[in-house]
C-alpha cells in the first residue's frame, strides 16, 4: 500500500524506473512515449547525457549553499544566461523551486513595488477566467478555474477575473481578429474602470493558456491592447510562462511572438526540463530599482531558492537547447504535429478545435461540432482517454470540460523538443486510438 498522498493513489499507477529520449519505462519494461512532457516539463526528454554530467559535476562541487550566506557559480551563470536571452527591459532573476512559487514571488514583487513607490492603496489583482497559475494560495487566487478555487473560498487574496482571449469559444463567427482582440481586452478596461486604475497592482495572464483551456494562443494584437491599458493606468503586466515558456511555443519566450514586454515574467517547467525542480521570476529594471532605492531588497525568500543543483540542471538544459538548435525543431515538428492532427481529426465529429503553437498543441472534444456543446463532464471523457492512451504506451495530458460548459474536454500535447517526424506520426496514431476508445466507452 502506498503512503503517498498524491493525486491518484486510489488507482494503481505504473512505477517509472527508467527514461530514455522521449520515452519513459515502467517496472514491467513497458515503454510510454512522453507526448505531454509530463506536464509540459520534459523539453529535452529523459536521461540526457549532458544534463546528467552537469548534475554529477555540480554534486561533486557543492550540492547546497544557503543564499543567505553564499552565491554559487551555477546560480549566477543561469541568471546571466536568462537575462541575456530575456525580452528587453527584464534585468534581474529571482530563482525559486517551481511554477507556483514563481507566481507567488511575482505577485509579492508587484505589491512591494507599489508600496516602495508610495502607492500602497494599490491592492487589486486582475487575472482571467479559464486560467491556471498554480496551487499555492496566492497563485490559486490568481487562477481563474472555478473547480480548483471553489472549496477554498474565500481565498486570501481577492482577485478579479475578466474574460479570457479564447477565439474558438468566444470569437463571433463574423468577428475579425482585430475586433475580437479589442473586445476581449475591453473586459480588462471595464474592470479597471470599476476598481479605479490607481487601485490596481497587476494584470496576470498566461501568454498562451496551458492546462486549463488547452494550448490557447491569443489572437493578434490582444496583448498589445492589454499592454496599452496597463501602461495607461500604471498597472504591472505579469506574464505567466510557467507552461508555455522556455521554447515550448517555438520561441524561447512565448511573448516574443506578441511584440510587447511584460514587467514581470514567470518561467518554470521547461527551464529545468524536469531534471530538477526550478522556477524563476524575470523582473524589469524598474522593479529592481524600486526595491534597491526603497527598503533595499525584495522581502521574500525560500530555503531552496537558487539551489545549485537546480541551477546547474537548468543551465545544462538551456545550453543543450541552444547548442542543438532545438527551437528550430520545435517550430518544424510543431507544424508537422499540427498537420498530422488536422489530417487525423480535422473532420472528426467530436473534435471541435485543433490549436496551439510550436510543440504546444491541443484538441478540444465536443459532443456537437456545430453547437460546440461539450460532453457532460461527469462522463469523464478526459480520464478515459488518458487511461486508453497509457494502455497504448502514450502519455498525453487530458483535462476535463467545465461544469458551466465554458469549454469541452481537451487533450494537451507537449512532446520533448527532440521529437522526430516519425515519432510525431506514432503519437497521433496512438492518440487517435485512445480518443476512439474513450468515445466508445461513453457511448456504451
Contact call for residue 242 and ligand PLP (CB under 6 A): yes
Candidates 100, 171, 249, 318: give the one binding ligand PLP (CB under 6 A): 100
Contacts (Cβ under 8 Å, ≥6 apart) of 377: 400, 401, 402, 403, 409
CB of residue 120 to ligand PLP, shortest distance in Å: 27
351-357 and 360-365 strand pairing:
antiparallel
Contact call for residue 112 and ligand PLP (CB under 6 A): no
Judged by CB, which is closer to ligand PLP: 8, or 121? 8
Residues binding ligand PLP: number (CB under 6 A): 15
Contact call for residue 129 and ligand PLP (CB under 6 A): no
Judged by CB, which is closer to ligand PLP: 99, or 352? 99
Sign of the dihedral through C-alpha 286, 287, 288, 294: positive
Cα 6 from Cα 174, distance rounded (Å): 46
Judged by CB, which is closer to ligand PLP: 345, or 360? 360
- Which residues 260-289 are close enough to bind ligand PLP by CB under 6 A? 268
CB of residue 429 to ligand PLP, shortest distance in Å: 27
Cα 309 from Cα 426, distance rounded (Å): 35
Cα 165 from Cα 142, distance rounded (Å): 16
Per CB under 6 A, which region of 93-101, 113-121, 122-130, 176-184 contacts ligand PLP? 93-101
Candidates 37, 45, 134, 273: give the one binding ligand PLP (CB under 6 A): 134
Judge if the upstream peptide bond of residue 154 is cis by omega within 30 degrees of 0: yes
Judged by CB, which is closer to ligand PLP: 35, or 290? 35
Judged by CB, which is closer to ligand PLP: 268, or 311? 268
DSSP 8-state code for residue 113: H
Helical axes 308-323 vs 49-61, angle rounded to 10°: 150
Contact call for residue 210 and ligand PLP (CB under 6 A): yes
CB of residue 413 to ligand PLP, shortest distance in Å: 15
418, 329 Cβ separation under 8 angstroms: yes
Cα 401 from Cα 213, distance rounded (Å): 9
Judged by CB, which is closer to ligand PLP: 78, or 379? 78
**Which helix (H) or strand (E) element contains residue 119?**
none
Contact call for residue 243 and ligand PLP (CB under 6 A): yes
Candidates 116, 206, 364, 392: give the one binding ligand PLP (CB under 6 A): 206
Return the C-alpha cell found at 139: 497563485
Binding mask 11-50 for ligand PLP (x = CB under 6 A): ----------------------------x-----------
Number of separate helices (H) and strands (E) present in the chain: 14, 15
Strands (E), 47-89: none
Cα 132 from Cα 140, distance rounded (Å): 7
Cα 268 from Cα 79, distance rounded (Å): 13
Judged by CB, which is closer to ligand PLP: 110, or 268? 268
Per CB under 6 A, which region of 127-135, 168-176, 323-331, 385-393 contacts ligand PLP? 127-135
Candidates 37, 99, 334, 438: give the one binding ligand PLP (CB under 6 A): 99
CB of residue 164 to ligand PLP, shortest distance in Å: 13
Contact call for residue 132 and ligand PLP (CB under 6 A): yes
Cα 321 from Cα 327, distance rounded (Å): 7
70, 253 Cβ separation under 8 angstroms: no
- Which residues 416-435 are close enough to bind ligand PLP by CB under 6 A? none
CB of residue 101 to ligand PLP, shortest distance in Å: 7
CA angle 35, 55, 5 (to 5 degrees): 55
CA 18 to chain centre: 25
Contact call for residue 240 and ligand PLP (CB under 6 A): yes
Interface residues with ligand PLP (CB under 6 A) are: 39, 98-100, 103, 132-134, 206, 210-211, 240, 242-243, 268
Amino acid at each position: 500500500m502506498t503512503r503517498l498522498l498524491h493525486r491518484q493513489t486510489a488507482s494503481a499507477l505504473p512505477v517509472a524506473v527508467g527514461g530514455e529520449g522521449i520515452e519513459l519505462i515502467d517496472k514491467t519494461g513497458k515503454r510510454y512515449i512522453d507526448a505531454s512532457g509530463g506536464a509540459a516539463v520534459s523539453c529535452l526528454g529523459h536521461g540526457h547525457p549532458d544534463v546528467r554530467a552537469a548534475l554529477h559535476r555540480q554534486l561533486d562541487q557543492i550540492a547546497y549553499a544557503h543564499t543567505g550566506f553564499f552565491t554559487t557559480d551555477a546560480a549566477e551563470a543561469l541568471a546571466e544566461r536568462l537575462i541575456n536571452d530575456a525580452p528587453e527591459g527584464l534585468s534581474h532573476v529571482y530563482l525559486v523551486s517551481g511554477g507556483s512559487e514563481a507566481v507567488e514571488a511575482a505577485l509579492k514583487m508587484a505589491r512591494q513595488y507599489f508600496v516602495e513607490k508610495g502607492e500602497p492603496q494599490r491592492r487589486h489583482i486582475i487575472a482571467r477566467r479559464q486560467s491556471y497559475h498554480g496551487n499555492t494560495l496566492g497563485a490559486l487566487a490568481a487562477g481563474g478555474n472555478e473547480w480548483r478555487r471553489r472549496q477554498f473560498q474565500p481565498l486570501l487574496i481577492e482577485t478579479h477575473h475578466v474574460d479570457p482571449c479564447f477565439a474558438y469559444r468566444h470569437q463571433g463567427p463574423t468577428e475579425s481578429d482585430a475586433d475580437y482582440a479589442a473586445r476581449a481586452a475591453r473586459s480588462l478596461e471595464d474592470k479597471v474602470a470599476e476598481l479605479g486604475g490607481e487601485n490596481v497592482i497587476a494584470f496576470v495572464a498566461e501568454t498562451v493558456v496551458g492546462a486549463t483551456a488547452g494550448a490557447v494562443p491569443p489572437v493578434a494584437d490582444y496583448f498589445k491592447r492589454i499592454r496599452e491599458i496597463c501602461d495607461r493606468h500604471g498597472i504591472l503586466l505579469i506574464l505567466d510562462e510557467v507552461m508555455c515558456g522556455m521554447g515550448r511555443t517555438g520561441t524561447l519566450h512565448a511573448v516574443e511572438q506578441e511584440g510587447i514586454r511584460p514587467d514581470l515574467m514567470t518561467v518554470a517547467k521547461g527551464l529545468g526540463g524536469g531534471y530538477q525542480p526550478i522556477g524563476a521570476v524575470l523582473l524589469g529594471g524598474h522593479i529592481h530599482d524600486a526595491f534597491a532605492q526603497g527598503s533595499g531588497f525584495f522581502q521574500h525568500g525560500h530555503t531552496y531558492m537558487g539551489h545549485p543543483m537546480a541551477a546547474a540542471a537548468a543551465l545544462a538544459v538551456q545550453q543543450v537547447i541552444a547548442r542543438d538548435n532545438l527551437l528550430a525543431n520545435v517550430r518544424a515538428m510543431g507544424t508537422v504535429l499540427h498537420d498530422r492532427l488536422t489530417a487525423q481529426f480535422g473532420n472528426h465529429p467530436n473534435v471541435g478545435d485543433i490549436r496551439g503553437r510550436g510543440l504546444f498543441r491541443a484538441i478540444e472534444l465536443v459532443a456537437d461540432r456545430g453547437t460546440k456543446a461539450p460532453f457532460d463532464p461527469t462522463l469523464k471523457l478526459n480520464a478515459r482517454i488518458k487511461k486508453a492512451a497509457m494502455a497504448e504506451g502514450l502519455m498525453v495530458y487530458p483535462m476535463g470540460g467545465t461544469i458551466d460548459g465554458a469549454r469541452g474536454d481537451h487533450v494537451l500535447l507537449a512532446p520533448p523538443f527532440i521529437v522526430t517526424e516519425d515519432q510525431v506520426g506514432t503519437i497521433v496514431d496512438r492518440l487517435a486510438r485512445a480518443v476512439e476508445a474513450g468515445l466508445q466507452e461513453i457511448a456504451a
